Amino acid sequence: MNPDPKLLRHLIKLLDDDSSVVRQAVSEQLCSFGRHLERSILEQGITLSIGENMHLQSLIFEHVSRRFTENWSAAADQPEEHHILVSAFNAIAEFQFLTLDLTLEELLDQLVAEYDSIYPSREVLQLSEFLFDIKGLRGVPDDYYNPLNSNLIYVIEKRRGVPISLASLYILVGHRLGLLIEGLNFPGHFLTRAHSGRKSFIVDCYNHGKYVDEAKVGMLSPELRSAFAHAGQLRCDSATLLIRVLRNLVHAYAHQQNQPCVELFSSLLRQSETNQADEP
């Protein structure tokens, strides 16, 4: 059920209500407008004072950060690696969009259905063609530090992302297709390794999904040969991948000078790094 924009005037009057119960109810109602909240306020002819706008932003951030922290913790308790990734990325999307019209799971299923409608078989190189040629997923050099680039729903919508978000999308769609695609935690540029029969390919999802047959690595420069030689050591699990996503979010929000978000994601990053260090 869509929220009623006519309630906005009443909700805004309750932003600084003395009751925490009322404020929480107000924040839930406001968040139900999702990313359309600001537009809905303007369409209702409502002009917020500086104080009202501060209360609005504070109340929403308090609500979504609490919910995000809960969802992020719940994601870590998922039984399988790909479930952890989907739940974590879904939590990021909900934090940034306030509410979701479609979940990440639903959008991934749509991509799988579209792939199957085009291709008669399921192969990693065909998936690269589908995502990076047909769907047009690309790197985003001109807007690299936008925090939304870590939001896979946004990446699917805009068909633009950073290396790790594009790689994560490749991994997750591939898993749904029964394909083995691994993340490679290369310094400065996240890559993937896709397996096809006895062959494997390093896939650069940021660079149009281009791939290198590892049997031909000897033809590359010495620096690249050295990097590829250690690729097996750079294979990463969901925890390592998500730590890198958290670092990206810290840097992105710092670039925007959004201190509350910097503190939120820095706290989660420290906690995640501690948890990883404590693992046997």
pTM: 0.88
Report which residue type is found at 189: H
From 42, 62, 77, the end of a domain falls on 77
pLDDT digits (tens, 9 = 90+) for 130-171: 999 999 999 998 899 999 999 999 999 999 999 999 999 999
Question: Are 116 and 242 found together in one domain?
Answer: yes
Question: Are 249 and 277 found together in one domain?
Answer: yes
Under 8 Å between Cβ of 118 and 112: no
Section 7-27 average pLDDT: 86
Ordered DSSP codes for 136-176: --EE-GGGTT-GGGG-HHHHHHHTEE-HHHHHHHHHHHHHH
**Angle formed by the axes of helices 81-97 and 104-118, nearest 10°:** 120
Under 8 Å between Cβ of 153 and 93: yes
Taking every pair of Cα atoms in the chain, the longest distance, rounded to a whole number of angstroms, is 69
Question: Are 68 and 186 found together in one domain?
Answer: no
**What is the band of 181 on the pLDDT scale with cuts at 50, 70, 90?**
very high
Question: Are 62 and 141 found together in one domain?
Answer: no
Question: Are 39 and 135 found together in one domain?
Answer: no
Burial degree of 187 (CB within 10 A; 0-12, 13-18, 19+): exposed
Burial degree of 242 (CB within 10 A; 0-12, 13-18, 19+): buried
From 77, 101, 125, the end of a domain falls on 77
Section 224-234 average pLDDT: 58
Percent of the chain with pLDDT over 70: 90
**What is the band of 221 on the pLDDT scale with cuts at 50, 70, 90?**
very low
Section 205-232 average pLDDT: 64
Domain range for 93: 81-280
Section 256-274 average pLDDT: 95
Whole-number Å distance between alpha carbons of 33 and 140: 28
Question: Are 85 and 73 found together in one domain?
Answer: no
Question: Are 27 and 67 found together in one domain?
Answer: yes
pLDDT digits (tens, 9 = 90+) for 83-133: 999 999 999 999 999 988 899 999 999 999 999 999 999 999 999 999 999
Under 8 Å between Cβ of 143 and 154: no
Question: Are 54 and 116 found together in one domain?
Answer: no
Whole-number Å distance between alpha carbons of 249 and 92: 10
Helix (H) or strand (E) holding 182: strand 181-184
Question: Are 13 and 90 found together in one domain?
Answer: no
Nearest to 84 by CA among 93, 94, 96, 71: 71
More confident residue, 216 or 71: 71
Q: How many CB atoms lie within 10 A of CB 32?
A: 15
> Is the pLDDT assigned to residue 215 strictly greater than 70?
no
Average pLDDT, the chain: 88
> Is the pLDDT assigned to residue 243 strictly greater than 60?
yes
From 19, 46, 77, the end of a domain falls on 77
**Number of domains within the chain:** 2
Section 40-48 average pLDDT: 88
